[in-house]
Structure 1
């Protein structure tokens, strides 16, 4: 098979879908790897490195898409502002596409994929199973986002994170509140704790209390019992009623007066992020406090957060931290590349003839196939197992 890796064109995106070190994971099974010229440049991977690893450099995106049977990508297909061409329109009919699709919001791509009979695999849809952990790109990127969010907050805060005693006096540790104890939240807790901060974490799911405590943070419990439907069978948080959100905000408000940094990570899969910090709640924070909202791409946990911008409100600095993994392009690309390779070798095992969708992981991850939407999360009422060729 010919596997194509185009250069990402979305503004601010620095990652590449395949790193040179992983080219051999594909070529050893007799696949051909096509790399668009300059695709790895923003992630500090040169064309020469790809060629040395056994890949072929292609001069343009149009040539790459025309030759690829399978496409690896980071961002969903995007309208190129320079050429006026939509990336999805460049993908040839019958191709298999693997990458983040943002399928709940980017309906344009789903429409193009079905029209062109493109088999679209959404990395967001990979089920959370023990045997899919090495394919779980959402968790890989969330880990980096949680880590970087704390570093960004520490750089912005006007005081240091750790306890420091000197002849000139004692500086007391910063207090950090992490909202949400999913993958990014747990990494934020661990990073802030390592930097010496006193860390608290809030999550309505009692099941995460032990994990939070093991990382050195204080788990903040709600005054009322958690809703029994707080979590899906897949481990994602469920969307909650406004009454439940009001109870959450009340619990959070009681902690804010002594907090220096708030890291917001609470998200609901496929839905808008819960609004956990209102404008009025920001008034409870100390002057100089910092809020980093990692849920901004789903609408944000903080009312005043704006994507990619610092907002100042009553001496509180608020950042809607969009796409933080792209600020760590080397490691983000390396993790994502390995996730993609692991997923690819699962759906196209060595020696396989064409694509088989009967496997649980393959089918659950598939958004479009054979000219139709096949994933129930996108509104397909009846999911039928089947198979088809990648040709």
Structure 2
């Protein structure tokens, strides 16, 4: 996306449906804020909760009240948990329970019965689609006779919830030296294949299910769909907007699948758009330490647009002697390093990690974060908030009259947007 879209014409009486649950501060907050400002009717979903015995249930009264307050709208209280990691196979064993007794160092030797995994996946899909149909039936009752409906898909992730996965993934994304773990080796293991199937189901296929389940609504109202993608970002490197990406981004294949689903829908005349968003640093992205290294050049883009407020806030968080230019210099050196550029290839994205590349990325991340005066009040948080706001505005306005099935929201257009907000 090169130019800022015209302001959306959504108004009071139009409906905004968030398919996915709002947790903390993240990307979805930006677009929800836009919908609220327009006076739209805000309706949300919930992933539900799991009881101690693993049973999936709706929210209880207390949870529902908190979730609705957080959303600023009504939540349809039918569990829309995506994925299949806790769905029993034909033998009664769920994927998460197939790792009992498995230690993190055993990852390469784990063997899974793919037929059982497929059985669990089929059951998970059936459960999700059945519940989704019930959610859509409730949503339909809340819709006006005429107007617009904006459906926003926020489902992502899908890391299986067996305890053994997190230490392995921590090593994969953050390991250096003897602790380095090849993402390619892991991805080609049975545990990696399970992640691949789970990411596809949660991140991508739920968008297809959502589009299909709401077909009847398109007969009654004008419906547009928006989903959050990631496929690298254009940032200022040596003063030129250049595509780059975090490595290793294992959800990348699922994100490409998400784009393909939008393209297929678009070809059928359905206005479904995936917006590829920039790298940010949040609680959910903390596993991917170093992802924020390419967030710093946003300050350069903001400066080019004359946006000083965010820059001043960033400058105020730095240690004595450090400046915005200090951060920009380190980030630019990182982004032009051969260790980083050697894996920068759009056509073969996503790439796997390499020992020296990962070590360099993590060391630069630590160096940049160390320049904050207070480790709890960091520049990345300010920039991430700006990205949420910019992305929310761009997605919301673009969704009024979508122009393509896939957009990249690069730093230049986000900076232009923030300069006008």
Please give the TM-score of this superposition, normalised by the length of structure 1: 0.31
Say which structure is richer in helix: 2
Say which structure is richer in strand: 1
Please give the TM-score of this superposition, normalised by the length of structure 2: 0.29
Highest RCO, 1 vs 2 (Cα 8 Å, sep ≥ 6): 2
